[in-house]
Amino acid sequence: MSDRTVAVWDGKVRIRVQSKGSGPALVFFHGPWGLTWDPFLDELAKSFTVHAPEHPGTTPETPDDVYQLDGLWDLVLCYDELLQALGLEGAALVGHSFGGMLACELAAAYPARARRLGLIAPLGFWRDADRVVNWMMLDPARLPEYVFRDPKGEAAQRLFGSTEPEARVRLMWAMGATGTVYADEFTRRIPGARVQTVDGAGHVPHLERPEIVARMLREFLVG
């Protein structure tokens, strides 16, 4: 695995990128608990060259870089600059939760950047009748039961077991969990989109069922 840091936004924002694998380029945008290289990314790296950037504000060494950005659009511009620096155009974009919303925004703003788009439990829509969980209002000790189907399982321990749950909440990006109720919104608004569900998983299916989710993505992205 290679690890590099790219400075963007006139050098004011430093984004660390972990890369591994061989094959077509795939960029993975992580969710709100920071980036952890896990079995899911290892599965993808068997078929793709996976580039996994850390969102500004989630890298322990540079937590304050995020304050250079005023909002989501600034972040989209930063990622376009990052992909330019990495020489990536026409890559597969895959995102989880907040990272899914970010991948959508990046693909909409810069279509040439995205060959295909894979979204895992993405954020992005709101309906008053279908309110999403606001993680910032939860008791942090209860967070795993809202995120995982099995809050005491191996995947939950891997994400939260070595630290207090609140230490993994990235407040800048923690917005809530959409579940499957909003899937129709994405399929209605993205031409050609389709939905696949994963049994036995919560808001992080790629952590609880990494081989299954990686296979689904592989079949879609190379199809």
Q: So where are the chain's domains?
A: 2-134+170-221
Query: Which class is 2-134+170-221 in CATH?
Result: alpha beta
CB 2 within 8 A of CB 15: no
- pLDDT tens, the chain, 223 aa long: 999 999 999 999 999 999 999 999 999 999 988 899 999 999 999 999 999 999 999 999 999 999 999 999 999 999 999 999 999 999 999 999 999 999 999 999 999 999 999 999 998 877 777 777 776 777 778 888 888 888 888 888 888 775 554 444 433 333 334 456 678 888 888 888 888 989 988 889 999 999 999 999 999 999 7
Please write the tens of the pLDDT for every residue from 55-110: 999 999 999 999 999 999 999 999 999 999 999 999 999 999 999 999 999 999 99
Q: How many CB atoms lie within 10 A of CB 143?
A: 23
- Cα separation, 88 vs 112, in Å, equals 10
Task: Give the predicted TM-score (pTM) of the model.
Answer: 0.89
Q: Report the length, in residues, of the chain.
A: 223
3-state SS, residue 213: helix
